[in-house]
Structure 1
Amino acid sequence: MSKLLDKPLKTFTLYALFILACSIPAYYLVVDYIWLNELDEHNDIVRTRMEQGLNNIDIDEQTLAQTLKVWNSVQPGTTISAAQPGEAREDSIYTVSKLNIYSEDGEIDRFRGLQTYLNIYGRPYKLTIETNVEEVDETLLAIALITFLFFGFLVLGFIVLNRRISSQVWLPFRKTLDKLKGFDLNKQTEVTFEKTDIEEFEELQVVLEQLIRNNASVYLRQKEFSENASHELQTPLAVLKSKLDILLQDNTLSEAQYEKISSLNSPLSRVSRINKNLLLLAKLENQQFDESHPIDLGELLNETTGLLADQAEAKDITISLKIDRYTMVNGNKYLVEIVLTNLLINAIRHNVSGGTVAIVLTGGVLTISNSGGKPLKEERLFQRFGNASPENPSSGLGLSIVKEICQRYSWDIRYDFKEGLHVFSATF
């Protein structure tokens, strides 16, 4: 995963490389154009000086011819010869590639030429001047090397400046992030961000402050509602259950009336359990269980198994407990106890008469296996109010609470059905 600042740096670097690479031929064309113009000026100066110099000396025609012959011998790049009276034309500037007689390797070089006509003592003379042009390959290589050298300096400067600027520019963002990391919704602490002169960060801080205030207010109202609703429901449920118990003790009730009143106890108990479980889920979602300390899982398993022994005996279920290794977990003891209790109750409920429940704790893995007829519906197993087995209906909240607690502590809970056994495994 790359940092935010590295992304534009990479883009800028590639863009700079592309521009500088494109600049190499542009540099070459510009330098070559300037060089050719300079050579044209040089050739024109040579022409002017030759014409003026030859016209300023007083020599006869024979001496002039000998002088020009000697000149053509010692200056192979410049030739001058007598022209016919009607041969004179306009000046011609050209570029030609030919063998360089001064090159040891016999290289083919470019030459910038000027073909013009002079008037010496009233007679026309044809003058050709050819000057060697700088090597194309050497020029291109020199420009490329210099360009990439400066590209290296440019990238190095990008990196250094990017780090220095980012440490200053992103400082308000870092402080804001640290404030958010330390914010705890349960503590309802007010978050105040430091002022900054960067408009975007200032706008972000204003939005965050408003968002935190709104969420804190909603959280507080939701928390109060769930607690008040549970409390208000518990009282009438307790009164209703007490009234039913009193009615069941009335000796004047007929058998039919007694059975009808008794049938109300089961749904009433179910509603009471649902109310308690929903309150527990609300507290879990609101992060109201902050206490965390080492817990002896083996000891807690022994206690929980003992509490559910009567319920297992009622269905003629045999419980076996095997603790191979000493295991400590960090968490809220009440929540860990709920995980163990709900898993064991589930193993007893989804069991057969005369069945077994095998509990094995080894290292950081707890496995609870119980006999059963058909596999549970995995897609509904950990859903709220999801009935995983039509044969044993329940409130559908027990395993959902287990899943919620395991997610809170980053524990892994899995279900499998193999060899006629329901197997739940929790990795702590």
Structure 2
Amino acid sequence: MSTPGTAPAPRPAAVDAARALYRPPAPGEGLASVLPAALVALGVDLPSGTPVPTWSLPAARHVVVVLVDGLGSRQLARRSGHAPFLRSMTPADRDARCGFPSTTATSLTSLGTGLPPGGHGIVGWQTVLPDGRLFNHLGWRDGPDPLEHQPAPTLLQHAEDAGVSVTTVSRPLFENSGFTRVALRGGGYVGTEDPGERAAGVLGALAGAGRSGRSLVYAYWDEVDKAGHVHGPGSMEWGEALEGVDAFVRELAAGAPRGTVVVLTSDHGMVDAPHEHRRDLADDAVLAAGVRVLAGEPRAPQAWCEPGAVGQVVATWTRELGDSALVLTRQEEAVEAGWFGPVRPGYEERVGEVVAAMLDATTVLDSRLLRPQVLALRGHHGSVTDAETAVPLLVHEV
């Protein structure tokens, strides 16, 4: 066991294993490069320090970025029969990836800022605030000031400042949320609860730019993620939700003005994680020993430990989880392996002292800290597996 105030010695073999298991997107790659590519296509200079994308879009007057929550590229490939229009789109990058953890809060902030997780500091669904409270980034209940927690300007703001008409089309609930202000602030907002109205919202935003104007529209679609969480990514319901996305994108392509480029991507994939593979700290005294608060997500738990207990927790979790997980210390191993990308000074404290990545169907959670609706979910994401980190990057030119 480590002594109070010290961390266990780094394990070079663990760092090597982490690097071999997961390579985060390089600068100019992956989800964080989508809006920069859209800006270049619109003729907008990138903000200073933003990497030039390694891939490109056709020059355009209008770009629509469709983010389908939970539509991993591996799941899409298996169920492509439900999506004939998406199948006809051109892959811009056949191996696009999201960052770690592969979860909505982290990924959407990378999309919106063009930064890796360590650069924007939203390093998980849940974290522990300096006052010791467990905090949910998506819910943002009683949270810190969003602009202080994530002060980097968004690329939507940059596009707006450059004279581009910028619009987000999403659920009304999200318009003024703390998380939206963190990840996707900038431009106008069209709230559409009914999925059938979203295409009209996007097409209206494109028309509003006028014939000579340039527009950037971000459209968010969450039904696939919901179906995967509740029923599993291999379910009939998931396939039906994919059909809805396909019809939506087809309608956009048919109604968009000439000179429009539609880009479809996602924030993460998903795996089926049956409840029988769950490890729950609420009734598992061995895994719970030394853990003060469990945050992160069930596929990528992050533990804040009792004083001096980091080494004990790493050793216990490594032994107990075996081949089901790779267990790392925060700074010496997970950050050193580059899983979060370059980490801005101070943001490393937002990462749990122990970080685990699930490698099979296992989840690790603490049911005392989660709502019953979360505990009932079958599909999960967050880890470094191919099924969770590979995302589509598809393009259609009108």
- Give the TM-score, by structure 2 length: 0.17
- Kindly indicate whether structure 1 or structure 2 has the higher relative contact order, using CA contacts under 8 Å at least 6 residues apart: 2
